[in-house]
């Protein structure tokens, strides 16, 4: 599979023009978005993985085999960000969800060890209000035992209102969940 970085956009005018189905990856800062994109593409360093949270401040566009566009959205909820930066982030994301015509699938990442917070819930409703298919992926599953995983899936499902069956358990260390994510991505080529 050929995957290429296209550009980083700080403003809507910089968003690429394309008719390809677009898949966006969204979630809290440090939840594992960049790691997931690398893992499902089988690439080590296509996307920079941050030691410092909040590393991805721009919307990064990738061309996947000239079949899909992937976008790595900047993570939300990073505390050490100025008010002005947060406002700029909010505007960029708002614009992205409101006007991105070719958006075919949103992948929302949630840390399997944490209860979804207010920002996560806002993200879910922003995606739902656009009627774009949404899948929720629980990241860093390798950090929990099987028992703990079952417990967390239940807690996250109850607190977010997302059915357990619709939560994909994922790890960018083991690759667990990779095929399930691809199944959802492949469907988008049929729907646009
Ligand atoms: N054990 C484990 N660590 C992970 C996993 N996914 C990500 N990490 C680690 O979590 C940290 C953050 O990962 P990123 O992929 O940079 O997270 P991000 O969501 O892109 O972060 P921002 O760009 O800051 O929003 C890194 O140290 C990763 O190595 C996972 O599935 N398992
Ligand atoms: Mg990132």
Please check the confidence at residue 53 and state whether its pLDDT lies above 70: no
Ligand 1 centroid from CA 140, angstroms? 8
Provide the pLDDT confidence category of residue 191 given band limits of 50, 70 and 90: low
Q: Which ligand has the minimum distance to the alpha carbon of residue 26?
A: 1
Give the count of beta carbons closer than 10 Å to the beta carbon of residue 44.
Answer: 9
Residues 5-39: tens digit of each pLDDT: 999 998 999 999 999 999 999 999 899 999 999 99
pLDDT above 90 (res 186): yes
Q: Among 38, 41, 45, 50, say which to mutate for ligand 1: greatest number of ligand atoms within 8 Å of CB.
A: 50
pLDDT tens digits, residue range 82-123?
788 878 888 888 899 989 999 999 999 999 999 999 989 988
Between CA 48 and CA 55 the distance in angstroms is 8
pLDDT tens-place string over residues 128-143: 888 889 999 999 999 9
Other beta carbons less than 10 A from residue 111's beta carbon? 20
Distance 34 CA to ligand 1 centre (A): 7
Confidence (pLDDT) at 136: 97
Burial (CB count <10 Å: 0-12, 13-18, 19+), residue 49: middle
Specify the pLDDT at position 158: 96
Q: Is the pLDDT of residue 182 over 60?
A: yes
Taking each helix axis from N to C end, the angle separating 83-99 and 118-129, rounded to the nearest 10 degrees, works out to: 30
CA of 55 to the centre of ligand 1 (A): 11
Q: What is the model's pTM?
A: 0.93
Sheet of 134-139: strand order equals 3-9, 59-64, 68-72, 22-27, 103-111, 134-139, 167-169
Query: What domain range is 30 assigned to?
Result: 3-191
Residue nearest to atom 4 of ligand 1 (CA): 140
Residue bearing tokens 């440090």: 30
Nearest residue (by CA) to ligand 1, atom 7, is 32
Angstrom distance (rounded) from CA 172 to CA 139: 8
Number of separate domains in the chain: 1
Mean pLDDT of 71-87: 81
Tally Cβ neighbours within 10 Å of residue 79. 7
What CATH number is given to the structural domain containing 182? Answer: 3.40.50.300
Q: Phi and psi for 94 in degrees, rounded to 5?
A: -60, -50
């Amino acid at each position: 599979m050929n995957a290429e970085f296209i550009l980083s956009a700080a403003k809507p005018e910089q968003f690429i023009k394309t008719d390809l189905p677009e898949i966006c990856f969204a979630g809290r800062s440090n939840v594992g978005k960049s790691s997931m994109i690398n893992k499902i593409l089988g690439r080590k360093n296509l996307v920079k993985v941050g030691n410092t949270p909040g590393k991805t401040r721009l919307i990064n566009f990738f061309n996947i085999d000239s079949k899909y566009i992937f976008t790595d959205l900047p993570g939300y909820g990073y505390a050490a960000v100025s008010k002005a930066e947060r406002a700029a982030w909010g505007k960029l994301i708002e614009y992205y969800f409101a006007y991105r015509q070719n958006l075919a699938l949103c992948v929302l990442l949630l840390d399997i060890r944490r209860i979804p917070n207010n920002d996560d819930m806002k993200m879910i409703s922003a995606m739902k209000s656009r009627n774009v298919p949404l899948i929720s992926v629980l990241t860093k599953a390798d950090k929990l035992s099987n028992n703990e995983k079952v417990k967390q899936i239940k807690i996250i499902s109850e607190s977010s209102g997302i059915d357990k069956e619709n939560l994909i358990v994922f790890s960018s260390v083991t690759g667990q969940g990779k095929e399930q994510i691809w199944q959802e991505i492949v469907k988008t080529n049929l729907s646009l």
